[in-house]
Amino acid sequence: MTFSDYFKAVNGLIVRGISVEDVVNYPKAYGFTFTNGIVKKDFQGITRKNGSTSKYSVGSGSYYYVAPLVAEKWDNSKEILVWVGCTEISSRKTLWDKPLRAGLRMEETKLDKYYQLAIKNSEENHGIKLAGSDP
């Protein structure tokens, strides 16, 4: 997180006690606490960032994991408004099994391209609709 992002998180608008589905009603908010939110691990996307090409770094690289964060009654005909992401498999295995109740908005232009590719992977593999995509 950059200093600018930290400043926004500390001083930006934080909306508390909303449904994951209501995020779209707060376009200027930076932080959220949710009344609901489950990670749909069965709709996860993944991509790999290749590591160094040095002869000493055989097999290096990073994996990027994403999954939709949705309301309990979500079905795959609804758009995905909120995503969770991580690069460590231990985070994915431990945190994604619990309901998530808070998050920060990430501007798409600042979102790491590998997270964007992982989201695209989820969309292609699972046929889900991204917020703002064509019907």
Banded pLDDT at 55 (limits 50, 70, 90): very low
Q: Which residues of 53-75 are buried (b: 16+ CB within 10 A; e: fewer)?
A: eeeeeeeeeeebbbbbbbbeebe
Token pair listed for 102: 């808070």
So what's the pLDDT on residue 105? 79
User: Is residue 130 classed exposed, middle or buried when 0-12, 13-18 and 19+ CB atoms within 10 A define those classes?
Assistant: middle
> Is the pLDDT assigned to residue 57 strictly greater than 80?
no
pLDDT in tens, 97-128: 888 888 887 776 677 888 889 999 999 999 88
Average pLDDT of the chain is 80
Beta carbons of 12 and 29 less than 8 angstroms apart: yes
Distance CA 70, CA 83 (A): 8
Q: Which of 98, 107, 89, 91 is nearest to 39 (CA)?
A: 98
Per-residue confidence (pLDDT) for residue 121, from 0 to 100: 93
